[in-house]
Structure formats: C-alpha cells, structure tokens
Amino acid sequence: MTLTLASPSVRPDGRTGASLSPLGRLAVALGLALAGVGAEWAGGFVPFAFAAVLILVLGLPHGASDHLAALRGRPWREAPGRLALFLFLYLAAVAATLALWRVAPGVALAAFLALSTLHFALDDVAAAPWHQYVPERLARGLMPVTLPALLHGETLAQLFSALSTPEDGAALARTAALLAPLVLVLVLAAALLRWLRHEREPAAEIALGAVALLVFPPLVGFALVFAPIHSRGQTRERMAELGLPDLGRYLRACAPTLFGAALLFGALGLLFAGGRAPALGPLFVGLAALTVPHMLVTPLFARAP
C-alpha cells in the first residue's frame, strides 16, 4: 500500500522518501483517524470492517510482492528452481504455523506476537544498521502489541483469548499491560531523540502512532498504525528495490497475487454478508499464518544473492 502515486526515492538514511509533504501525510493520517472515530461511533460490525478494509486494501500490497523480492527482480524463467523452493518454504511455513496453532494455540500466539515485534523493529527503521536507533526499534516493535493493553485491556484479552485459550489470552494481555509503561518511556525517548536531530517526521510518526494505539480499540488502532506506517514504508521500499518506480507498475507486477487475495477476501466478504461468516478466531489465525512466511521466509531469499 502507499498513499501516493509518485515515484519513490531512497534517502541517505535508507528510508524511502515520501512524495507527499509532511503536512499532506499528517492530513491523510488525521483523515484516517477521523474515519476511525466515525467507525467507532457507528459501532456494531463497522469498526471491525474498517480495520479489515484498511489492513487488506492498504496493507496487503506490501506482502504481495514477496515472490518478486525473492527473485530479486529477475524474471521467474531465469530462476524457476529458486521460485519453486521459495513457494515450497512459504507454504510449509503457513502449514507449520497452522499446525502449531492447533496443538498449542497459546504458544503459537505468543510466538507470533514476538515475531511481529521483531519484524516491525527491523523493518520500520529501514536500512540503517540494526544496532542503530535501538530505543526506537524497541518502541516501534513493541508498541502495536503492548500499548492497547493500557486503556483497552479487557478487549485485548478477549481478542487474544479468541485466538488461543481464555487463560493464555488473559496471561498475554497481562504481559502486554506489564510491558506497556516501559514501552511508553521508549516511545517518548525515541520521539524526543528524532525531534532533537530535527527529524520531525519520524518523531511525529512514532508519537501519533502511539496515541492511536492508546486511544482507539485494539483492532482499529493497529490498522491505523500498520497501514500508513509499516505497510506504506515497506511498499515504497519494495518499489525501490524492484526498480518499479510507480504504484501502477508495482501493482501490475503483483497482479497475480493481488488477484488471488481479492478472490479469497471477496469470497469471505460474501460469506459475511450472507450471514454465513466463518468464526473470527480461525479467520484471524489464517491471516496470521499467512504473515509468518512473509516475516521468516522472504527475508532469507530477499537478502541472499
């Protein structure tokens, strides 16, 4: 996903440049936050639908190019073996995640949250060596899974329980609540350090992201951070890596994966609309399982020669 159609550029600190002005980005963020307020106000199924649409429409495209990243820009005909191995490992990781979730849902959810923390910490401060910006990496990694516990502990525990067991869900939500004050300190330190370096945009991004995660209920807060920060940044980096300078070309290159995803989620949408919705727990587990190879398998191929 990206909020702009202009070509990406890579800044000296390794992050892709935003072609929207900082004020433009702020306006988009405020617009999304207002839409989130509207969704909360409407109540019922609307906040869930808002989070789902934001995560899928704006979030999906950054993972849709995993196979292209694994091929490192080469046409698949030049490296069919590499593509086959990648797809095999990708599907094996999905299957292993689903199997673990079946036998030990609490362990699977805890591992998924830990892996996601690492993923956000490594990717959301792009390209700088991993040991730079350590407080910021910890803050960005831990924010999405801990801050909702401060003001929405009960909802978070319910969501975690739906994905595991009531005991494991409650224990994970308590762990998140224990870590949250420390994460808030890290957020303040990270935003302040960026501000002192006159890097106002990342400072605002961290601070506003933390506010969204504190104020909104967990799913809406997560969608508001995941889509415009993680997904947007990663899509722009992929565009730069693959030499696809505009969003239209990038989306065309990912068309087969996006088409498959559209079919899958369109079918799920129809099931929901027809009142034959699959239980949310298994649906979330399926989505989580799809992100595991994105976090574990793609980096192996995308970084190797």
Ligand X SMILES: CC1=C(/C=C/C(C)=C/C=C/C(C)=C/C=O)C(C)(C)CCC1
Residues at the contact surface with ligand X, assessed by CB under 6 A: 63, 113, 116, 119, 144-145, 148, 156, 159, 163, 218-219, 222, 291, 294-295
CA-CA distance, 157 to 239, in Å (whole number)?
37
Q: How far is the CB of 15 from ligand X (least distance, A)?
A: 17
β-strand partners of 16: 10
Q: How far is the CB of 123 from ligand X (least distance, A)?
A: 8
| Exposed e or buried b per residue across 295-305, where buried means at least 16 C-beta atoms within 10 angstroms of its C-beta | bbbbbebbeee
Looking at the Cβ atoms of 105 and 144, the one nearer to ligand X is: 144
Six-digit token string for 210: 């933390």
Looking at the Cβ atoms of 63 and 203, the one nearer to ligand X is: 63
Residue 98's Cβ-count burial label (10 Å; 0-12, 13-18, 19+) is: middle
Q: How far is the CB of 125 from ligand X (least distance, A)?
A: 15
Taking the CA atoms of 33, 58, 226 and 24 in sequence, report the sign of the dihedral they define: negative
Q: How far is the CB of 175 from ligand X (least distance, A)?
A: 12
Six-digit token string for 15: 């992050």
Looking at the Cβ atoms of 203 and 251, the one nearer to ligand X is: 251
Looking at the Cβ atoms of 193 and 296, the one nearer to ligand X is: 296
Looking at the Cβ atoms of 29 and 220, the one nearer to ligand X is: 220
Residues contacting 305, CB < 8 A, separation 6+: 72
